[in-house]
Amino acid sequence: MNEYRFNLGPPFNEAVIEVQHKNVKNVNLKVFRDLRIVLSVPHSVPNEWIILYLNKKSEWLTKQLSKYKQSSGYNNLNNIKSGSSTQLLGKDRRIKKVQSSTNYVGEDEKNIILYQLNVDDEELSQRILAKWWRDKANAVYSNELDMLYDKIFRKYNVDKPALQIRKMKTQWGSCTPSKSKITLNEYLLKADLRCIQYVVLHELTHLLYQYHNNNFYDFLTIQLPDWKTRKEQLDKEVVQGL
The highest-level CATH class for domain 134-237 is: alpha beta
The span from the CA of 19 to the CA of 165, in Å, is 30
| pLDDT cut 70: percent of the chain above it | 90
Backbone angles phi, psi at 157, to 5 degrees: 60, 40
Give pLDDT < 70 ranges for the chain. 1, 33-34, 67-83, 239-242
Read off the pTM.
0.69
For the chain, domain boundaries:
2-70, 85-128, 134-237
The alpha carbon of 235 is separated from its chain's Cα centroid by a whole number of angstroms, namely 8
**pLDDT at residue 73, rounded to an integer:** 38
Average of per-residue pLDDT values in the chain: 87
The span from the CA of 22 to the CA of 40, in Å, is 7
pLDDT digits (tens, 9 = 90+) for 114-123: 999 998 888 8
